[in-house]
Every structure is written in C-alpha cells, then in structure tokens.
C-alpha cells in the first residue's frame, strides 16, 4: 500500500499531501486551503460559534482542502471539472458533534461546550434540513453515532442521512450562475430605487434665499420639513447643515464655497435632496478624528472597535457633501471640486447619487475618495470622477449598484471593501494609475458586467472573494487585463486585448470557470502562479486564443479546435507572436503532450490548459467595437504573425 505523508510547509502554513502514503492524520483546519466562508461572514460570526467542517485529501492536489460546511464539499465534488482539477478524494474527515453539547444560537449557528473531533466521513451520520445554519444558509451537522444524530434531529428537526445518501442530497448554494441570472433584476431594483427618490425634486418651494432669508443656512433653518429651499443664481460663501428632510435646489448657476474648512454641506436627515449646485472649497483633511455628525448608531449595531475607528477615520474626513445617517437621500446634477473627498455617504442606505461630477486633487496622495460609501448601499449612476485617489470607494455597502459612470485618471477606479451582492455595470474607466476595478476583503456574489477598462498601470480588473460573476467586460491596454484571484467565480465572454498579460491567475483553489472569453493581441495571453493545473474549458466550450487558429488539424465539435491549448506552455504561448511556432507545435512529442494535458488530473502545476479552444471569437459584438477586430482570425485563417 502506498503511504500518504502530510507535512506542514512553514513558508505558506499549508499542509501538503504526498500521494504515496497511508491514510493521513487530520490536518489543522486553519492550515488547509479553505473555502465556503467569506471573510465578511467569518468576521460577523459570534466568537462561540463552531461551524461544521470537512477536510479532504485529494489524489492530485498537493494541499489539504478545508470546507466550511459538509454541504459545500458535496456541491463542489459534483461540479463540472472537479475531478480533473483535484483528482479523487483519498481521505475525507468531518467534524464530529457527538459528545460536544451542541446547541444552536437564535440564528441557527451551532455552539459547543467541547470542540468537535475529526471523524471519517464515510462512517458518520448527518442531520440535513434542520434548524442549523451557516452564514450562507442551511448546514449539515455530522455525528459519529446514529443515536446522537437522531437526538439532534428530534430537537432541531431535520433528517438523518448516511454518507451515501448525503452525496445525493441537493442544497441551495450561492453559485455564480445565480448571480448572473439576477443581473437584470438588480438593474430593475436600481431603477425602482431611483424612482423612489425622484419626488424629492418636486417638493414645494417654501423659502427662497435673498427673498425670505439672507443666507442659505438661514433659509434652511426657517424651511418647514419636506419643502424646497431655492437658491438663486450666484456665489455663496457658506458651510451648510441640513438636519431635517429638505430639498436644497439651485436655480441657474449656483456655487457654494466652504472657504477651505471642513465639509461644505452636511446632511443628517433622511430623504435629504441636494440638486443643481456647484460645491467648492472643502477642507483638505483626508481622515477624520472619530467624531461624526448624525445619529451615532442608527441601526443599533455594536460595531467592533476596529470598525468604529475605521469609520471615524475614513468617513469623517472633509468632503464637498457629507450625508451622515441620511438614508433615502438624493444628490443629483451636482459638481464638486474636492480637496479631500467629494461626496461621503455614511449609514445612508437607499440613497441615490446621479449625474454628478467630482474633480479630485490632481495628486492622488492629496485626496481621498471621489465618492465614498460607508455602510450605505446606494446607486451611483451617470456620473464622472476624475483625478482621485479612489474614484469610488465602498465599505460594507452590500447591494450597491454602480453603473453608467465615467472614471478618468484616478489611482483606483472602483474599490469595493467588505461589500457583497453588488452590481458594477456599464462603467467606462480610463487611465487609472493602479487598478481599474478592485474588489477585495473576501466579498461574495458581486456581478461585474459590461464595463470598459483601458490603459491601467497595473490591473484592469482584480476581483477577489467568491461566488461572483464577471462577464462581457473589455479589459485592454493594461499591464494585466484580468487577475483571476477569486474562487467559485464565473468569468465568461470578456475581451482581453492589447495587455502585457491578458489574464493572471494566483488562486490556490482551481474552482473558477473561465470560459468563452476572447484573448487577442496580448503580449502573453495568460500566466499562472504556483498551484494546480487550471482547466479553462467546460461543457464543450473553451476560450478564443489568438494564434491557435494556425494550428494543424481539423476543427473539433461545436466550432472548437481539435487540440488542447496551454497559454502557459513555452510553444503555445508564442503562437500569436513568433513565426515558426505553428510548425514547431507539429512536433510529435509536443502533440502527444498536448493530447495528454488535462486528461490526467493535476498533471501540470502552475499551468493553464484549455481543452476545447474555440475557432471563432465568443463575443464578436464586443470585439467589433474595438481596434482589434481585424486581429482575430478563424481556424484556417492567415498566420497572425503576417502583419502588414
């Protein structure tokens, strides 16, 4: 019998599997490559919660994979391409809740008196469909004895299953396909949110500056709730505070100058509207002191000390307009010339920012964010932000929609932190010095669709987290078009063109679907860091790789090339750049290797293989609107190196 040796790798803190050994001892879960729990959800869990887990030793994956939730493994192991990427499970352990004193919190999260031990999965009993829950939904609770499982099911409902029965069970999961299917619904929901605040523009005028009051602030102080303060054409040197539901509307060209001190307009009332103004002269303090206007804790949350400090610093700096605890508000037809942040929304969910222009300091280090949203799910649309540190920054603003905006010359274009369930769509980003769209800190279920990102100094698109959907984006003229860093994410129909590197993958878990994308005129189409073989084809569909069309052999089924392609292989990666590589690729040894690639699980580490590259671009409509249309050849077309 072969021996499985499990060793700890000090450099990366991961347990490594040697496939030549006997059944291994369970690994330390924190040192596995884990999946199934977003960082945001993990931080939100009560300290005493102990979620069910599984850990799996695979035949062709060198690391132990840890799954938060046995159901996460069950769904993963039957996903397309799972066996090709990981090989077969050699040993599976699950947490054993027998003799732990397990109970459930009000949210259904399991708590224990004694930490669960590890038990072999095949010999355990499982309670499915009970009141037990993980952050993502229902969770399965394993027990080493049937009696303990039946007792838990009697107390908390549910059905007791064997391992074989569990493998046949169905669970609701946050799949990227579900994120794709709800994009249209997110647009409709955003439309409804915009319509809900449109009436704020139509409030009756109660006070006119210059007629009913000498200053804007005096007019605000005198105006009844739910009316409009009208500001006639002119320049006004004031800092304003709005503390009840009002509409502040400019008539003609209206400029409000804060004199370079603090935030120019601060609103602390729900359903505030600020429309038709130019705002200049904010203070230049990027970070606040921790003292914030408005209700200190409108939602009754007891935030962690770290998050409170972060909120005070980031949302408390100077701005042109600051909405603090002002949900359901509207900022529209406004221009802000910012010395720090342009527009800040803090705890002001369901607000709308539309048709605004924010000019930030030309040196990004002097400013902060063009538009900053902190705990404020909002809609930002049809707006322009230039020269900012971060053009758009969100923090814990789940469900935000950022669409149809133009972002030019910023350090980062759209920067999502701890923000899930959002939609980034139809934005045009140019000349960001660092990253176009950067999604970080482990969010889930974000959709990034139909954006055009060009001429970025580092990454055009860098989405992390899990269970997201990235599609129909043009990623061009950048150092790296796409960073494949998320897990369980679907990337499809994107055009990566004219980049130094089309796509770069560093994800340790090969759980992404990368299909039906078009790679054209990149210096290198794709690169991979250390880790397992990544298969970028599925269900008969691969990607279009400029250069593969010159390879020998007939077309395969469904318009695919009858040969595997590896953008990380020494010969294949040069097919679109160097004369003679199509001939070299005919070498019998290389043809044999190409035929074998991807058929043996995990055969090549640090590699990408497309088993069914397409003969035609997958998104011809997107390609047709670019300068690369004549660089994409069909199978049997001209050599892409024969340039005029």
Write out the DSSP string of 101-124.
Answer: T-EE-TT--EE-SS--EEEEGGG-
pLDDT score recorded for residue 540: 83
pLDDT of residue 85: 77
What is the Cα 304 distance to its own chain's centre? Answer: 23
**DSSP secondary structure letters along 513-556:** EEES-EEES-SEEEEE-SSS-EE--BTTB--EETTGGGSSS-B-
> What does the CA dihedral 345, 346, 348, 349 come to, rounded to 10 degrees?
90
Bridge-partner residues for 372, per DSSP?
Answer: 344, 393
For residue 54, pLDDT beyond 60: yes
Pairing state between β 341-346 and 369-374:
parallel
User: What is the predicted pLDDT for the residue at 550?
Assistant: 58
pLDDT, position 303: 46
Confidence at residue 368, expressed as pLDDT on a 0 to 100 scale: 81
The beta-carbon contacts of 89-92 under 8 Å, at least 24 apart in sequence, are: 89/56, 89/57, 89/58, 89/59, 90/4, 90/17, 90/19, 90/23, 90/57, 90/58, 90/59, 91/4, 91/23, 91/24, 91/56, 91/57, 91/120, 92/54, 92/55, 92/56, 92/57, 92/120, 92/121, 92/122
3-class state of residue 590 by DSSP: helix
Tell me the pLDDT tens digit for each residue of 460-519. Answer: 999 998 889 999 999 999 999 999 988 889 999 999 999 999 999 987 777 889 999 999
* Per-residue pLDDT tens over the stretch 258-297: 999 999 999 999 999 999 999 999 998 776 666 788 865 5
User: What CA–CA distances, in Å, run from 415 to 458, 464, 633?
Assistant: 14, 11, 36
**Enclosing H/E stretch for 70:** helix 70-77
- At residue 447, the 3 state secondary structure works out as strand
What's the mean pLDDT in 571-576?
A: 79
Question: Distance between CA atoms of 289 and 291, rounded to whole angstroms?
Answer: 6
Residues 165-191: what's their mean pLDDT? Answer: 89
What the block records as the tokens of 51 is 């979620």
Give the CA angle between residues 283, 285, 289 to the nearest 5°.
Answer: 120
| Span 211-251, pLDDT tens digits | 999 999 999 999 999 999 999 999 999 999 999 999 999 99
Please say whether the beta carbons of 351 and 267 come within 8 A.
no
Share of the chain above pLDDT 70, in %: 85
Among the ranges given (17-21, 194-198, 217-221, 485-489), the one the predictor scored with the smallest mean pLDDT = 17-21
Q: Is residue 320 scored above 60 in pLDDT?
A: yes
User: What is the structure's pLDDT at 572?
Assistant: 80
Region 567-592 average pLDDT: 64
What do you get for the CA distance between the two ends of the chain, in Å? 62
Token readout for 476 is 């061009």
In the numeric block, which tokens belong to residue 191?
A: 């439309």
Nearest to 93 by CA among 18, 30, 26, 32: 26
Whether 324 contacts 352, CB under 8 Å = no
pLDDT for the residue 361: 82
* pLDDT tops 60 at residue 343: yes
pLDDT over 90 at 570, yes or no: no
Phi and psi, residue 468, nearest 5° = -110, 175
In this predicted structure, the answer to whether residue 587 has a pLDDT above a threshold of 60 is no
Give the C-alpha distances (Å, rounded to integers) separating 266 from 42, 76, 99, 248, 514: 34, 49, 56, 12, 45
Q: Phi and psi of 584, rounded to 5°?
A: -60, -35
Task: With cut-offs at 50, 70 and 90, classify the pLDDT of residue 440.
Answer: very high
Q: Per-residue pLDDT for 302 more than 60? A: no
Map residue 644 onto helix, strand or coil. Answer: coil
Burial class (CB in 10 A: 0-12, 13-18, 19+), 492: buried
In angstroms, what is the C-alpha Rg of the chain?
A: 28
- Rounding to the nearest 10 degrees, give the CA dihedral for residues 459, 460, 465, 468: -160
Please report which residue ranges of 157-215 form alpha helices under DSSP H: 163-167, 176-181, 183-198
CA–CA dist 278, 255 (Å, integer): 5
Pick the CATH number of 256-285+294-483 from 2.170.130, 3.30.160, 2.160.20, 2.60.40: 2.160.20
Give the model's pLDDT for residue 569: 85
Domain boundaries, the chain: 5-173, 256-285+294-483, 493-644
Give 379-429 pLDDT, tens digit per residue.
999 999 998 899 999 999 999 999 999 999 999 999 999 999 999 999 999
Find the range with the poorest average confidence among 153-167, 336-350, 497-511: 497-511
Q: Which residues contact 318 (CB under 8 A, 6 or more apart)?
A: 262, 263, 282, 283, 284, 285, 286, 339, 340, 341
Higher local confidence (pLDDT), 86 or 17: 86
The residue among 249, 52, 252 whose CA lies nearest residue 134 is: 52
In the structure, what pLDDT confidence band is assigned to residue 8 with cuts at 50, 70 and 90?
very low
Report how far apart, in Å, the C-alpha atoms of 46 and of each of 442, 599, 600 are: 18, 44, 43
Give dist(CA 568, CA 524) in Å, integer.
Answer: 9
Q: For residues 240 and 321, what is the distance between their CA atoms, to the nearest angstrom?
A: 10
Name the burial class of residue 599, with classes exposed (0-12), middle (13-18) and buried (19+) by CB atoms within 10 angstroms of its CB. Answer: exposed
pLDDT at 601: 45
Mean pLDDT of 115-136: 94
- Nearest C-alpha neighbor of 333 from the set 356, 358, 351, 359: 356
Length of the chain: 644
Token pair recorded at residue 392 = 């758009």
- Tell whether the model's pLDDT for residue 565 goes beyond 50: yes
Q: What is the model's pLDDT at position 10?
A: 30
C-alpha angle 517-439-446 in degrees, rounded to nearest 5:
65
User: Is residue 148 classed as helix, strand or coil in its secondary structure?
Assistant: helix
Select from 98, 105, 101, 88 the least CA-distant residue to 126: 98
pLDDT at 30 over 50: yes
What pLDDT was estimated at residue 173?
A: 66
CA-based nearest residue to 126, from 169, 76, 173: 169
DSSP result, 490-524: EEES-EEES-SEEEEE--SS---EEES-EEES-SE
pLDDT at 590 over 70: no
Tell me the range of 199-213, 523-537, 545-559 where mean pLDDT is highest: 199-213
The pLDDT-based confidence of 17 (bands split at 50, 70, 90) is low
């Amino acid at each position: 019998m072969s021996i499985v040796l499990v060793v700890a790798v000090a450099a990366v803190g991961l347990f490594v599997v040697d496939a030549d050994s006997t059944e291994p001892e369970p690994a330390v879960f924190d040192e596995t490559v884990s999946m199934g729990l977003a960082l945001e959800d993990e931080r939100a869990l009560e300290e005493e919660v102990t979620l069910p887990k599984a850990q799996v030793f695979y035949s062709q994956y060198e690391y132990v994979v840890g799954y938060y939730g046995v159901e996460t493994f069950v769904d993963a192991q039957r996903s397309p391409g799972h066996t090709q990427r990981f090989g077969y499970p050699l040993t599976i352990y699950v947490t054993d809740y027998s003799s732990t004193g397990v109970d459930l919190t009000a949210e259904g999260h399991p708590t224990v008196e004694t930490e669960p031990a590890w038990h072999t999965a095949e010999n355990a009993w499982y309670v499915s469909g009970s009141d037990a829950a993980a952050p993502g939904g229902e969770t399965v609770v394993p027990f080493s004895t049937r009696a303990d499982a039946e007792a838990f099911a009697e107390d908390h409902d549910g059905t007791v299953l064997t391992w074989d029965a569990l493998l046949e069970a169905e669970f609701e999961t946050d799949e990227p396909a579900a994120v794709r299917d709800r994009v249209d619904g997110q647009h409709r929901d955003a439309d409804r949110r915009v319509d809900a605040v449109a009436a704020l523009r139509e409030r009756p005028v109660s006070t006119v500056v210059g007629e009913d009051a000498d200053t804007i602030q005096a007019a605000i102080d005198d105006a009844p709730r739910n009316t409009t303060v009208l500001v006639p054409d002119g320049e006004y040197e004031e800092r304003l505070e709005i503390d009840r539901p009002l509409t502040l509307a400019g008539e003609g060209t209206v400029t409000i100058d804060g004199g370079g001190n603090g935030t120019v307009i601060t609103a602390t009332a729900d359903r505030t509207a600020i429309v038709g103004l130019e705002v200049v002269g904010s203070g230049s303090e990027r970070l606040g002191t921790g003292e914030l206007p408005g209700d200190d804790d409108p939602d009754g949350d007891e935030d962690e000390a770290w998050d409170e400090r972060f909120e005070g610093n980031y949302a408390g700096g100077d701005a042109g307009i600051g909405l603090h605890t002002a949900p359901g508000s509207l900022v529209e037809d406004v221009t802000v010339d910012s010395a720090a942040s342009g527009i800040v929304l803090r705890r002001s969910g369901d607000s709308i920012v539309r048709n605004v222009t924010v000019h930030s300091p030309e040196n990004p280090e002097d400013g902060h964010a063009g538009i900053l949203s902190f705990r404020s799910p909002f809609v930002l649309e049809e707006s322009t932000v230039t020269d900012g540190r971060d053009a758009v920054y969100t923090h814990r603003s789940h469900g935000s929609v950022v669409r149809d905006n133009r972002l030019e010359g910023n350090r980062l274009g759209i920067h999502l932190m701890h923000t899930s369930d959002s939609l980034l769509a139809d934005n045009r980003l140019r000349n960001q010095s660092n990253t176009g769209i950067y999604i970080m800190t482990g969010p889930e279920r974000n959709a990034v669709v139909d954006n055009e990102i060009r001429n970025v100094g580092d990454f055009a698109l860098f989405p992390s987290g899990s269970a997201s959907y990235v599609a129909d984006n043009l990623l061009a003229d950048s150092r790296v078009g796409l960073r494949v860093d998320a897990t369980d994410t679907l990337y499809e129909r994107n055009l990566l063109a004219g980049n130094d590197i089309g796509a770069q993958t560093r994800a340790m878990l090969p759980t992404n679907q990368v299909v039906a994308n078009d790679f054209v005129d990149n210096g290198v189409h794709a690169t991979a860091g250390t880790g397992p073989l990544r298969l970028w084809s599925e269900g008969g569909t691969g990607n279009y790789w400029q250069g593969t069309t010159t390879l020998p052999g007939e077309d395969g089924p469904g318009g695919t090339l009858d040969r595997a392609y590896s953008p990380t292989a020494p010969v294949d990666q040069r097919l679109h750049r160097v004369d003679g590589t199509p001939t070299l690729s005919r070498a019998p040894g290389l043809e044999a290797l190409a035929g074998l690639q991807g058929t043996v699980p995990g055969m090549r580490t640090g590699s990408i293989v497309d088993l069914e590259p397409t003969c035609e671009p997958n998104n011809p409509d997107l390609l047709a609107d670019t300068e690369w249309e004549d660089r994409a050849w069909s199978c049997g077309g001209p050599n892409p190196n024969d340039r005029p």
